[in-house]
């Protein structure tokens, strides 16, 4: 039997803002660089202020949702980075827009998030967690209405169970007239 000594060199990528966050994967170099260039990202993914991308958001895979471990925080940053930089499969994609919105408005006064839901006369239909501010709420509702299911007559849109927009009988927002 022979024993040999092997020296292994690994390249590690580490955040300048959050030095406890590091990775040995080349793909994470761009993620960490982006997050350090946008330090608010670290606040977004480690606090509960953003319902869409904060800690505990259902946007993330289960093991990473609430954990404060560095690998879970990095997973949340990776996910948000992907939403902002790589998701635009179609023009005006709401999933990319909501990540960009959260990044742009997180520090604004009154920033918070909520559960938006489309309702026909009796049943909930489309739903999405979105962030907003008091000043941007109308625009966020408009964006949600532009995204929601067009194949049902919409009676109202709710935010955390409270009606924020009601549609009259003559205001059909569907594309083909089916109810």
CA dihedral sign, ordered 123, 61, 139, 109 = positive
Going residue by residue through the chain (179 aa), what tens digit of pLDDT does each one get?
Answer: 999 999 999 999 999 999 999 999 999 999 999 999 999 999 999 999 999 999 999 999 999 999 999 999 999 999 999 999 876 566 678 999 999 999 999 999 999 999 999 999 888 999 999 999 999 999 999 999 999 988 888 999 999 999 999 998 655 454 433 33
**Token digits of residue 124:** 């909930």
* Residues recorded for the chain: 179
Alpha helix locations (H) across 86-177? 94-105, 137-147
Query: Contacts by 54-57 with C-beta closer than 8 Å and gap 24+?
Result: 54/113, 57/129
Would you kindly state where each structural domain of the chain is located, as residue ranges?
13-105, 112-166
């Amino acid at each position: 039997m022979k024993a040999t000594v092997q020296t292994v060199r690994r390249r590690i990528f580490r955040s300048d803002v959050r030095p406890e966050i590091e990775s040995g994967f080349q793909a994470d170099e761009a993620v960490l660089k982006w997050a350090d260039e946008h330090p608010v990202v670290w606040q977004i993914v480690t606090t509960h202020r953003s319902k869409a991308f904060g800690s505990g958001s259902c946007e993330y895979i289960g093991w990473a949702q609430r954990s404060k471990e560095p690998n879970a925080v990095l997973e949340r940053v990776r996910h948000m980075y992907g939403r902002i930089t790589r998701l635009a499969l179609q023009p005006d994609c709401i999933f990319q827009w909501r990540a960009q919105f959260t990044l742009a408005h997180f520090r604004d006064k009154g920033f918070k998030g909520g559960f938006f839901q489309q309702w026909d006369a009796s049943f909930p239909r489309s739903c999405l967690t979105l962030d907003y501010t008091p000043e941007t709420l109308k625009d966020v509702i408009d964006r949600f209405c532009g995204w929601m299911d067009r194949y049902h007559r919409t009676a109202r849109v709710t935010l955390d169970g409270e009606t924020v927009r009601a549609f009259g009988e003559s205001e059909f927002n569907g594309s083909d007239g089916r109810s």
